[in-house]
């Protein structure tokens, strides 16, 4: 994928997800649990799409603000702080959800569960030099 437009890669990933009931079947993300989250831009008010890896906590989807180990939070996290209502596509379903940034013991528990489910996340805090925020997406409809 070297030199490829990131939007083209993301669009191809989304096309693959939608064609296979939410599963990724090709490329470096094959087999990984991904969801499409559309938030509202904190400044622009415009829809902002992000494809993120998820784990589950009961009925909730859990995502990490890891930004692949970047020292900065992902842009979507800022959007969620201002506008927590999001649209989500995951596991072949579309639904609305409310994003809650986990704190304290809940954040720590969600992080541990996330790393157990997705071990490649374990190195991100050291790489990023920060505590990785954890976000709970709670369904507001069963779409």
Placement of tokens 């890891």 in the chain: 66
The DSSP call for residue 53 is E
Q: What is the pTM assigned to this prediction?
A: 0.87
Q: Which two structure tokens, joined as six digits, stand for 127?
A: 């790489």
Give the tens place of pLDDT for each residue, 93-116. Answer: 999 999 999 999 999 999 999 999
Give the tens place of pLDDT for each residue, 11-47. Answer: 887 888 887 777 777 777 767 899 999 999 999 999 9
The mean per-residue pLDDT over the stretch 120-136 comes to 96
Domains of the chain, CATH where assigned: 54-84+96-139 (2.30.110.10)
- Number of neighbours of residue 90 by Cβ within 10 angstroms: 21
Cα–Cα distance between 84 and 102 in angstroms, integer? 13
Cα–Cα distance between 39 and 45 in angstroms, integer? 9
């Amino acid at each position: 994928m070297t030199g490829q437009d990131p939007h083209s890669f993301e669009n191809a990933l989304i096309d693959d997800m939608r064609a296979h009931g939410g599963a990724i079947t090709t490329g470096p993300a094959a087999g990984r649990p991904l969801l499409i989250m559309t938030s509202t831009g904190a400044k622009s008010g415009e829809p902002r799409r992000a494809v993120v890896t998820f784990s589950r906590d009961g009925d909730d989807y859990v995502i990490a603000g890891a930004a692949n180990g970047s020292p900065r939070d992902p842009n979507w996290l800022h959007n969620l702080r201002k506008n927590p209502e999001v649209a989500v596509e995951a596991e072949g379903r579309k639904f609305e959800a409310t994003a809650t940034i986990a704190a304290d013991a809940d954040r720590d528990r969600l992080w541990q569960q996330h790393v157990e489910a997705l071990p490649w996340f374990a190195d991100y805090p050291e790489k990023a030099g920060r505590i990785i925020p954890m976000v709970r997406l709670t369904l507001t409809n069963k779409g």
